[in-house]
């Protein structure tokens, strides 16, 4: 009997389960380091917001087998206002991620694995994404740049809402 969960069979493995893929992920994450924050942009070295940064990293690694940058466009949320989370409790980001068949959701209390997408709530709804790598989260910070910080940083860990794992398609 095959049990399906979010479009996956139980025996599908995480995309970033091999040392080779973990090394490729690290190299890509580091290549984005220092890219300044720019809302609605994802161009390495020139600017990226947190959501599009995550999409572009996954696209660069072919982690989905699809063009992952189409996800926000397909759901009509590519032109999200910068202050959306200040005014809305609608979980737009979580709903988009939940609709992606090659992403498997885990509770915020789960231990993340390298390559997982971590979701954070600022203001009224989830509004920030980061990529977990060996105890750190790589993210594009508003009024800042792409950089890694400790996963257990107290300003972020208390805002963690969900973890999504990229599964092989």
CA 168 to chain centre: 16
In terms of Cβ atoms closer than 10 Å to its own Cβ (0-12, 13-18, 19+), residue 2 is exposed
Phi, psi of 150 (to 5 degrees): -60, 130
Domains in the chain (CATH in brackets) are: 4-166 (3.90.1720.10)
- Convert the pLDDT of each residue in 84-117 to its tens digit: 656 667 778 888 899 888 899 999 999 999 999 9
pTM of the model: 0.86
Label residue 20 by pLDDT band (50, 70, 90).
Answer: very high
Which pLDDT does position 85 carry in this prediction?
56
Q: Which region, left, alpha or beta, applies to residue 76 given φ > 0 means left and ψ of -120 to 50 means alpha? A: left
Q: What are phi and psi of 47, to 5 degrees?
A: 165, 150
């Amino acid at each position: 009997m095959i049990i399906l969960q979010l479009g996956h069979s139980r025996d599908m493995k995480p995309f970033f389960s091999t040392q080779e893929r973990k090394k490729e992920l690290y190299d890509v994450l580091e290549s984005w380091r220092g890219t300044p924050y720019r809302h609605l942009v994802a161009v390495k070295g020139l600017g990226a917001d947190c959501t599009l940064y995550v999409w572009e990293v996954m696209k660069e690694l072919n982690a989905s087998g699809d063009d992952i940058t189409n996800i926000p466009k397909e759901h009509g949320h590519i032109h999200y206002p910068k202050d959306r989370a200040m005014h809305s409790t609608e979980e737009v980001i979580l709903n988009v991620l939940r609709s992606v068949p090659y992403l498997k959701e885990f509770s915020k209390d789960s231990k993340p694995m390298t390559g997982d997408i971590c979701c954070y709530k600022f203001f009224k709804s989830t509004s920030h994404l980061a990529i977990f790598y060996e105890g750190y989260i790589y993210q594009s910070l508003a009024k800042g740049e792409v950089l890694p910080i400790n996963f257990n940083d107290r300003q972020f860990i208390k805002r963690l809402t969900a973890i999504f794992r990229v599964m092989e398609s």
